[in-house]
Amino acid sequence: MNRVSALLVDDDVKLGKLLTEYLGKNDVDVTVAPDGERGLAQLTSKRFEVVLLDLMLPGVDGLEVLKRIRAGERKEIPVLMLTAKGDDVDKVVGLELGADDYLAKPFNPRELLARIRALTRRAALSPVLPGDQMKSGDLEIDFPAREVKLEGKRVVLTNFEFELLATLARSAGRVLSRDQLMDGLKGEAFESFDRSIDVHVSRLRAKLEKDPKSPRHIKTVRGVGYLFARDE
């Protein structure tokens, strides 16, 4: 397995040492930044494949760091939030700002490793079929290039958002439940925040729909799940 380069933005020195040692033994090289400003500086000076971001940071908090990441040059990098256990408000806000996943403290390092592998694997995935594209009305999806255009203009999606859209689009006309979507996207069996799919769908609609409250592409089937309605 290729080694992964991860940026851990967390002021917990003990946790930083623990994760650096454990993840290092499992093909993940960890660089630790003890606050938001230094974390952002690291992102501009070194290439990372995933960011592990604590929300409770001194100075610039984690949500602000996440907002700046999504507005910067590395906007598509996978970001996994580290949150206080039971802090559902921060989880939802973080997902709305563009986080790909979250893990509540305290956590098992093995679970963190599994999530890092899932995130980086998703980011590296590229369907093997050449010319594998879909057009639905004003929406174009290029699966191999992982590129989405709306009215001819590129739409920037996080890796999780692209995978969610791709999963729905490849099953166009078929209703997928939240459980089916989570199973297909995570690729790992672990506890997840069961409403996170709703948050990601809401963010996708905000980027892809002219009227998110009356979506053309991603429709809700009440009590069941979501449907990609292909517009020929």
Domain residue limits at 137: 133-228
SS3 103: strand
CATH of the domain at 17: 3.40.50.2300
59 shares its domain with 105:
yes
Q: Rounded to whole angstroms, how far apart are CA atoms 213 and 107?
A: 37
15 shares its domain with 102:
yes
85 shares its domain with 154:
no
64 shares its domain with 138:
no
84 shares its domain with 13:
yes
110 shares its domain with 147:
no
Q: Count of domains in the chain?
A: 2
174 shares its domain with 83:
no
21 shares its domain with 108:
yes
18 shares its domain with 119:
yes
Among candidate residues 124, 141, 163, the one where a domain is terminated: 124
Q: What is the pLDDT of residue 30?
A: 97
Separation in Å, CA 194 to CA 99, 165, 229: 15, 18, 23
Among candidate residues 106, 124, 142, the one where a domain is terminated: 124
Widest distance between CA atoms in the chain = 55
CATH of the domain at 165: 1.10.10.10
Q: Rounded to whole angstroms, how far apart are CA atoms 99 and 46?
A: 20
71 shares its domain with 41:
yes
Per-residue pLDDT of the chain (232 residues; tens, 9 = 90+): 578 999 999 999 999 999 999 999 999 999 999 999 999 999 998 989 999 999 989 989 999 999 999 888 778 889 999 987 666 777 778 888 888 888 989 899 999 999 998 888 766 554 434 447 888 889 999 887 888 999 999 998 887 788 889 889 888 888 888 877 876 665 433 344 445 788 889 989 999 998 988 999 999 998 889 999 987 6
153 shares its domain with 171:
yes
Give Cβ neighbours of residue 227 (< 8 Å, ≥ 6 apart). 168, 173, 174, 175, 176, 218, 219, 220, 221
Please report, as a single letter, which amino acid is at residue 170: R
Give Cβ neighbours of residue 3 (< 8 Å, ≥ 6 apart). 27, 28, 29
Q: What is the pLDDT of residue 80?
A: 94
Among candidate residues 99, 124, 149, the one where a domain is terminated: 124
Among residues 122, 187, 117, which one has the least CA distance to residue 160?
Answer: 122
211 shares its domain with 120:
no
Q: What is the pLDDT of residue 63?
A: 92
